[in-house]
Amino acid sequence: MGASRLSCGSMGGTQSLALPQGRGPHQVGCTDVMVGHTQQGLFLRLFYPCLPRAGAEQPLWIPRYQYCSGLADVAQRSRHWCAPLLSVAIGGFLFPAGSCRVPVSWNGPFKPCSSGYPLIIFSHGLGAFRTLYSSICSELVSWGFVVAALEHRDHSASATYFCTAEAGREEWIPYQRVPQGQKEFYFRKKQVHQRAEECVRALRLFQDINSGKSVPNVLHQDFELSVLKGSVDLSKVAVMGHSFGGVTAVLALVKEPSFRCAVALDAWMFPLENSLYPEVPKPVLFINTEEFQTPESVAKMKRLSSRNSQTKIITILGSVHHSQTDFTFLTGKLISRVFRARGTLDPYKGLDITSRAALAFLQRHLDLEEEFNQWDNLLEGIGDSVVPEAPFCRSNL
């Protein structure tokens, strides 16, 4: 798999970030979209097929220093050293020699499609944010999808913000741990319902755009959302997510009939109440890593697969929980150790398996006229470094 390797200078050596370019036939563009001036609005990074543009700017992988501080808080590490370490991605003061960027075209010209691109709404994991899944989002877009990567405002993101109507002042929403004395299940259940509702609102946003309704972008990016009109097929919509985002995707199937299927990357099934399992109406592809799931979590996945023969469970061997995030492509041993970002499997091979399995599943359930069914064997757990169902491996959630 090809990669764009950008060096990030550091004192006493060089640390590289290699975020892979999509391997499909489409070039990838992205922009940020914020709708509304309150916490009840939406914030997402939009990835889309784009036209070539010479000298295209590439967006920063971590767009603001506040996200570095938030990641340090989530990891329960000192902001004093952890946030500057991460700020390598934005040219922080300890690493002034360079910055790391996503190999896509920032605000690149949208590539129209008369038949319409299928749409994926993507939900991030606990303590993450909209940009940390750029590799999988870019890969799917390169094969002809539009992907809206949400940044949730339920206090599960490491940090996020909204802009008030008064002079565009930023209001930051910090990451919040489970309050002392409160049971985690009830705290997380409330969050997962808010997250799923945000996924539904993201779909409504695209419905508004497709109907010709004016949708102002609070961030005033050099990208007109109206160009999407007629180029997104809203009859072919899926929801996808990682960890907390994986169970968010499952719940979104309950809340919105227009979501035809879900892809759940190493889903954290804990927050979904038992009464909802019989109500999940559509197929789910669970792509697990080897060192995260518990027997209890896998039992919940099997409960869904027993009700729907099209729900599949596979495990990628040699992978860890963060293998499905961009962190796995950080070659610096220190960052990988802090965030447990790598298993024994090559990260590019892990992305290859994840994306191909997802594409095969999406072709099947969105009725796509592509050749992604060439990877159907992966859905049965057949292939190198993949097995059906899930080993009972325990890890800290």
Query: In this predicted structure, what is the pLDDT of residue 362?
Result: 98
Does the pTM surpass 0.75? The reply is yes
Q: How far apart (Å, rounded) are the C-alpha atoms in residues 356 and 172?
A: 37
Of 87, 282, 234, 240, the C-alpha closest to 149 is 240
CA 362, 123, 196, 397 dihedral sign is positive
What is the pLDDT at residue 159?
96
> What are 120's strand-pairing partners?
147, 238
User: Based on the number of CB atoms within 10 Å of its own CB, is 278 exposed (0-12), middle (13-18) or buried (19 or more)?
Assistant: exposed
CATH architecture of 22-59+101-388: 3-Layer(aba) Sandwich (3.40)
Could you say which of 142, 243, 297, 319 is catalytic? 243
Give the domain ranges of the chain: 22-59+101-388
Residue (of 267, 287, 290) closest to 277 by Cα position: 267
State the catalytic residue, choosing from 266, 322, 326, 355.
Answer: 266
Residues 392 and 130: their CA atoms lie apart, in Å, by: 30
C-alpha distance from residue 300 to each of 132, 366, 371 (Å): 27, 25, 31
Residue 296, token pair as written in the block: 């209890």
- What secondary structure, in 3-state letters, does 98-143 show? CCCECCCEECCCECCCCCCEEEEEEECCCCCCCCCCHHHHHHHHHC
Rounded Cα distance, 47 and 128, in Å: 17
- The tally of CA atoms less than 13 A away on the side-chain side of residue 352 is 13
Taking residue 197's Cβ as centre, other Cβ atoms within 10 Å add up to 17
Catalytic residue among 321, 322, 326, 355: 321
What DSSP designation does 179 have?
Answer: P
- CA-angle at 359, arms to 243 and 279, nearest 5°: 55
Token readout for 72 is: 């340090």
- The question of whether 243 is a catalytic residue gets the answer yes
Decide if 336 is catalytic.
no
- Torsion angle of alpha carbons 332, 338, 342, 347, nearest 10°? -50
Query: Active-site residue 321, yes or no?
Result: yes
Q: How far is CA 26 from CA 105, 144, 279, in A?
A: 12, 7, 37
Q: How far is C-alpha 112 from the chain's CA centre? A: 24
pLDDT at 167: 72
Beta strands in 36-78, from DSSP E residues, in sequence order: 42-50
Per-residue pLDDT of the chain (397 residues; tens, 9 = 90+): 333 333 333 323 334 456 999 999 999 999 999 999 999 999 999 999 999 999 999 999 999 989 988 988 887 765 655 555 555 544 333 332 236 889 999 999 999 999 999 999 999 999 999 999 999 999 999 999 999 999 999 999 999 999 998 877 999 999 999 999 999 999 999 999 999 999 999 999 999 999 999 999 999 878 999 999 999 999 999 999 999 999 999 999 999 999 999 999 999 999 999 999 999 999 999 999 998 999 999 999 999 999 999 999 999 999 999 999 998 886 555 566 555 678 889 999 999 999 999 999 999 999 999 999 999 999 999 999 999 986 654 343 3
CA 389 from chain center: how many Å? 22
What pLDDT does 397 receive? 35
